[in-house]
Copies of this chain bind each other. A is one copy, B any other.
């Protein structure tokens, strides 16, 4: 009478654990995520949960990977087929706003990467390294898109892609805070307005 499942069932269980982990970590952080809480939520034993990952750190990394895959599929991939430069960048920026906007069931407590960044920036180890790597990859993609836009003449030749990305990332950090802490429903519009000014798409720009 072993309750041992088939490989397919085991994979499904693993996915369920990770999905739940992402949701919990979005609210309580990756450190606040506990095996016992997961076991209760999923009606499993603690050993059953932990057996899929071995350690809590491996579970945290799996949650980060999954959140990263969600971000990629929701923010980057829909824009992938668009022409590079400002057009594609604006599509990414709009999808990113939707990603952070409320009523998203997958991240009830807000952006997991922002939370994990703040939670682990004072520590060393694989979790911190993974968060830093993901954020760096995304910042670089934005810089690349802006470089293309400058070369294509969509932005003034003096525009500094790294500087623009610095300001752009700040907008999204504040968008997340405005939504999660203040429930500010005007924040998406404020973000769009700032983006238009930052990218020079609000009005023709003197070069």
Contact of A181 among B32, B132, B167 (CB under 8 A): B132
What's the Cα separation between A114 and B29 when bound, in Å?
Answer: 14
Contact of A194 among B122, B163, B178 (CB under 8 A): B163
Does A85 sit within 8 A of B, measured CB to CB?
Answer: no
Which B residues are in CB contact (< 8 Å) with A171? 167, 170
Which B residues are in CB contact (< 8 Å) with A70? none
Interface residues of A in 119-144 (CB under 8 A from B): 119, 121-123, 128, 131-132, 135-136
Does A27 sit within 8 A of B, measured CB to CB?
Answer: yes
Per assembly, the copies of the chain total 2
Contact B121 A180 (CB under 8 A): yes
Does A98 sit within 8 A of B, measured CB to CB?
Answer: no
- The interface size of chain A toward B, counting residues with CB under 8 Å, comes to 43
Contact A122 B136 (CB under 8 A): no
Does A169 sit within 8 A of B, measured CB to CB?
Answer: yes
- Given A163-B193, A170-B171, A190-B166, residue A110 in contact with residue B132 (CB < 8 A): no
Contact A121 B181 (CB under 8 A): yes
Does A74 sit within 8 A of B, measured CB to CB?
Answer: no
Contact A26 B193 (CB under 8 A): no
Contact A28 B180 (CB under 8 A): no
Q: Across chains A and B, which 10 residue pairs bring their CB atoms closest together, nearest first?
A: A170-B170, A109-B122, A170-B174, A173-B173, A27-B122, A121-B180, A121-B181, A166-B190, A118-B118, A170-B171
Sampled A-B contacts (17; CB under 8 Å) = A26-B122, A28-B122, A29-B29, A109-B121, A109-B122, A114-B118, A118-B180, A122-B180, A131-B181, A163-B193, A163-B194, A166-B178, A166-B187, A166-B194, A170-B170, A170-B194, A173-B177
Instruction: Using A109-B122, A170-B175 as known contacts, list a sample of 11 further A-B pairs with CB atoms less than 8 Å apart, ordered by residue number in A.
Output: A109-B121, A117-B177, A117-B181, A118-B118, A121-B177, A131-B181, A163-B190, A163-B193, A166-B191, A166-B194, A167-B171
